[in-house]
Amino acid sequence: MLAARAADVPGIIGECGGSMNCLTCHCYVAPADIARIGPPTQIESDLLDGVIEARENSRLTCQIVVRADLDGVTFSVPQWQG
């Protein structure tokens, strides 16, 4: 979420600053990359049930920690957000 905001990615707002209260950082992880990201925590998974247009590959970007081994992972923003 912080990296997306720094890059002015449309649709990633991060209104709560990453405390999992706003859901304005919802993204989709490319299916081929989902295993690299790993599964959401139970709390994140429960919250994702409340986002519009949730999918199997939905994640909250504020819960994804940027690491070197994630280089090249592709994310997309739900159309209604962007």
Under the rule (CB under 6 A), what is the footprint of ligand FES?
1, 14-16, 18, 20-25, 60, 62
Identify which of residues 32 and 37 has a Cβ nearer to ligand FES in the complex: 37
**Closest distance to ligand FES from the beta carbon of 75 (Å):** 13
Calpha distance 54→28 (Å, rounded): 9
Calpha distance 32→22 (Å, rounded): 27
**Closest distance to ligand FES from the beta carbon of 44 (Å):** 9
- DSSP H helices, the chain, are 2-6, 34-37, 42-48
In this structure, the chain runs to a length of 82
**Closest distance to ligand FES from the beta carbon of 79 (Å):** 19
